[in-house]
Amino acid sequence: MTYTELRDSVSGLPLISGQALKMFGGSGQELKNQLSRWKKTGKLLALRRGLYILNEKDRKLKPSRLFISSEMYKPSYVSLEYALSSYGIIPEKVPAVTCITTKKTMVVENVLGTFSYRHVKPECFTGFTAKKDEEGFTYYLAEPEKAIVDFIYLNLSKLHGDAVEVLKESYRLDLPVRLNRSKLIRFAGLFNNTRLLEIVKGVK
């Protein structure tokens, strides 16, 4: 299989899995050698083991990093700093895509940037909605209340004293009145953590 044949075969796919490469032709050592050559020449970009994307020039589809984040590590949804920034709850733009997963915590770094995944228990994996990127591909984004609860839970060890003031002063969280308090408390209750629930009840 030549690169041109590969490009023409996968041009309708947003991402290319190792399984798809085998289906389009090639396996074993020959395929490994081809992949190595295409990656070295920048024709094929590795996102993580077994998942690739064509270089920008040859791509017909341009999936967003948010869609890619959901495909690289499943199940996952965008939350924490990236979601808080997108909602205007923290003022800074966040370059890394920050996600929640039921799998182990990990960080993926590739040519498209940094993708951070933090673990929560399966019973806490909720509070997100399906969104479409500009190409129409689906990704999952935490509701603002869940993004806040996820953030507080995963930073509990750093929140001493008046935790709500720490969130406002040190982390610059703008905790607006428009937040749904019943949702905040319901999401916090899923974690079965007294300190978390106490902090969330103080959010106004």
Q: For residue range 63-92, list pLDDT tens digits in order.
A: 999 999 999 999 999 999 999 999 999 998
97-101 vs 106-110, strand pairing mode? unpaired
Domains and CATH numbers, the chain: 3-58 (1.10.10), 65-201 (no CATH)
Distance CA 196, CA 163 (A): 10
pTM of the model: 0.92
| Tokens 């969104």, residue located | 131
Distant-in-sequence, close-in-space partners of 8: CB < 8 Å, separation ≥ 6? none
Place of tokens 């490009």: 7
Selection from 90, 177, 83, 193 nearest residue 127 by Cα:
83
The tens digit of pLDDT for each residue in 121-165 reads: 999 999 999 999 999 999 999 999 999 999 999 999 999 889 989
Check residue 67 and give its pLDDT: 98
pLDDT of residue 33: 87
Closest CA to 139 of 74, 93, 92, 94: 74
Q: CA-CA distance, 198 to 10, in Å (whole number)? A: 51
Amino acid identity of residue 91, one-letter, is P
> Do 8 and 73 meet the contact criterion of CB atoms below 8 Å apart?
no
Residues, the chain: 204
